[in-house]
Structure 1
Amino acid sequence: MGDSLRDQLLKAGLVNKKQVKKVKHEQRITKHKKKGKKSSPESKESSIAREERLAYEERNRELNKKRNEERKRRENAAQVRQLILTNRLTLEERDDDEPYNFVVGRRIKKLFLSEKIIKQLTSGQLAIVKLEGKFEIVPADAAKQILERNPKTILVFNEGGPDKEEY
């Protein structure tokens, strides 16, 4: 009874050694395939985990990009505000009785300025900018820096002044 069924069939002469060897080989192959199939669910799980990790990393990259853009936008706004506040002309320097009209969107706005300031505005030495709903006048150097950071802030900036060929 200690003999396996295979050995018993071989002794009885029902099978030969070649057939026994072939069956052993097939059993070994099927056993090996079963092990491979067991690892495939693990590999599916690992591939799913890898895909989830990649999606998570991609989401993080997008969020970081948005955060960086928002931070940069806020920094630019703070720099523009600082440039305007440090370089603006005071009310005493600019207020006078000469009206200066300019367009903002679809509306015409009016500031009362001195002759000197109006000439500097038309020649491009000064610019009108908007800060917190108020109009401020800044020198051309500051206006160029503001233009680099936020061009929507500048309302009037005559770079180069009027051409004499037009008149």
Structure 2
Amino acid sequence: MSKSLKDQFLKMGLTNDKKVKQAEKHIKKQTKITRTTGEVDETKIRAEQQRQEKAERDRLLNLQKKAEEEKKAVRAQVKQLIQMNRLTDYKGDVPHNFIFEKKVKKINVTAKISDQLAKGRLAIAELEGVFELIPPVVAEKIRQREPDWPIILNEKAPDTGDAEEDDPYAAYEIPDDLMW
């Protein structure tokens, strides 16, 4: 059987035990490095994936925060529109009923204001639990900015002559002093 190269060099005296052990340590170190480089690559890949996932989460969070800030700004604009354009002297003795969130609500207004509300010349907007009267132009601006804002606006019905012709009660006159 042939002897290993290490044994042959030791027998000839070309090397000593100290150098042989040092060479063996170096070889073990090299094999260990080559084994761990595969794991290091996997670790690097995992770290890169985690970094990318974190960047994506941060980007989504930033988008959510930006959307919330924009929504908050729009709500502030709507509140300002209502506060700047609301009517202040509308209180009177005539009750005006309207539907708000599937419930009938009532505000007391003057007869003139009640007529304007019925014809769609004024709108009712809710602001912090209080109903405010605003012009229909402002109500449309609010609907453009915030479509879900609670606004009650009677749409103006188009005047059609056909409805009057088919009305069986057209011959009966309603007294002007009758309040419904």
Scaled by the length of structure 1, the TM-score of the pair is 0.70
Q: Percent identity?
A: 36
2:82 to 84, 96, 102: 84
What's the offset of the Cα at 1:119? 2.7
Indicate if the aligned counterparts of 1:146 and 1:153 stay in contact, CA closer than 8 A: yes
Correspondence 1:39-118 to 2 at 5 A:
39-90=37-88, 92=89, 94-118=90-114
Paired AA for residue 163 in structure 1? P
User: The residue matched to 1:153 in structure 2 has which SS?
Assistant: coil
* Larger displacement relative to structure 2 (145-154 or 94-103): 145-154
| Segment drifting more, 49-58 vs 148-157 | 148-157
1:58 Cα shift? 1.3
Distance in 2 between residues matched to 1:50 and 1:111, nearest whole Å:
63
Matches within 5 A, 1:1-167: 5=5, 37-90=35-88, 92=89, 94-159=90-155, 161-165=156-160
After superposition, the CA RMSD in angstroms is 2.5
- Stretches of structure 1 that go unaligned for 5 or more consecutive residues are 9-32
Unaligned runs of 5+ in 2: 9-30, 165-180
CA distance in structure 2 between the aligned counterparts of 1:142 and 1:73, rounded to whole angstroms: 19
Which one has a larger percent helix, Structure 1 or Structure 2?
A: 1
**Higher relative contact order, chain-length normalized (CA < 8 Å, sep 6+):** 1
- Look up the equivalent residue of 1:121 and give its one-letter code: L
**TM-score normalised according to structure 2 size:** 0.66
Distance 2:35 2:116 in 1: 83
**Kept in 2: contact 1:147–1:154 (CA 8 A):** no
